[in-house]
């Protein structure tokens, strides 16, 4: 019996769901928080991770290619999740181009007065990769990301928007629903 390896999550039911999705050529990846440490290792050292994952076969390499396509590798120290839409990006990307979903209302790009610090969080749980062909999936509808751009989204984002931002959103007729699990349907 092999020792515990980085690829121990292969037996996880979540990964089995990923494999089934990939066989149907869907880009829906239901990746839970069990997989995040492995993805963080892959993002820091992709060649070392691939060399340890040879037992995963070609299907795992396809998964890595799709994840890399949907979102470029990030430093685990700088990635943040938007508190309004939940997309995960590096801090620098929020600063340079803003949020692809919320830029028109939150104005992250080139904002030096703390907007990114106030409206994004480095503390989030779970990952869901949204592609153009799976926006109608139950996961996308459940997370309310079915109308957003393709990318990696957090299942849960810790923290809430400041009251002055919430009032600005209400002035624009935008309903804010916290992504920290405190909102009741």
Question: Residue 124 — very low, low, confident or very high, per pLDDT cuts 50/70/90?
Answer: very high
Distance CA 158, CA 81 (A): 9
178 or 29: whose pLDDT is higher? Answer: 178
pTM for this one?
0.59
How long a stretch of residues is the chain? 185
What is the pLDDT, as a whole number, of residue 185? 59
- Dihedral in degrees, nearest 10, Cα atoms 32, 38, 39, 43: 170
- 68 and 27 Cβ atoms separated by less than 8 Å: no
Distance CA 134, CA 132 (A): 6
1 or 136: whose pLDDT is higher? Answer: 136
Question: What percent of the chain shows pLDDT beyond 90?
Answer: 39
Residue 70: phi and psi, rounded to 5, are: -70, -30
Question: Residue 165 — very low, low, confident or very high, per pLDDT cuts 50/70/90?
Answer: very high
CB atoms within 10 A of CB 50: 14
3-state helix, strand, coil in the chain (%, to 5): 45, 15, 40
What is the pLDDT, as a whole number, of residue 110? 76
Q: What is the pLDDT of residues 45-95, one digit of tens each?
A: 444 444 444 444 444 444 544 454 444 444 456 899 999 999 999 998 998
For domain 10-178, the CATH architecture is 2-Layer Sandwich (3.30)
């Amino acid at each position: 019996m092999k020792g515990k390896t980085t690829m121990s999550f292969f037996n996880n039911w979540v990964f089995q769901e990923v494999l089934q999705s990939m066989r149907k050529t869907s880009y829906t990846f239901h990746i839970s928080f069990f997989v995040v440490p492995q993805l963080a290792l892959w993002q820091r050292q992709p060649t070392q991770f691939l060399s340890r994952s040879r037992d995963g076969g070609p299907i795992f390499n396809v998964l890595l290619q799709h994840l890399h396509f949907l979102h470029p590798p990030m430093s685990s120290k700088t990635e943040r999740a938007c508190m309004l839409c939940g997309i995960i990006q590096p801090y620098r990307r929020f600063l340079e181009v803003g949020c692809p979903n919320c830029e028109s209302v939150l104005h992250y790009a080139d904002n030096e007065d703390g907007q990114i610090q106030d409206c994004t969080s480095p503390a989030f749980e779970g990952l869901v990769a949204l592609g153009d062909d799976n926006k109608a999936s139950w996961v996308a509808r459940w997370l309310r990301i079915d109308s957003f751009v393709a990318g990696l989204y957090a299942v849960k984002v810790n923290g809430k928007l400041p009251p002055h931002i919430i009032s600005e959103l209400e002035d624009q007729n935008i309903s804010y629903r916290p992504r920290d699990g405190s909102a009741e349907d």
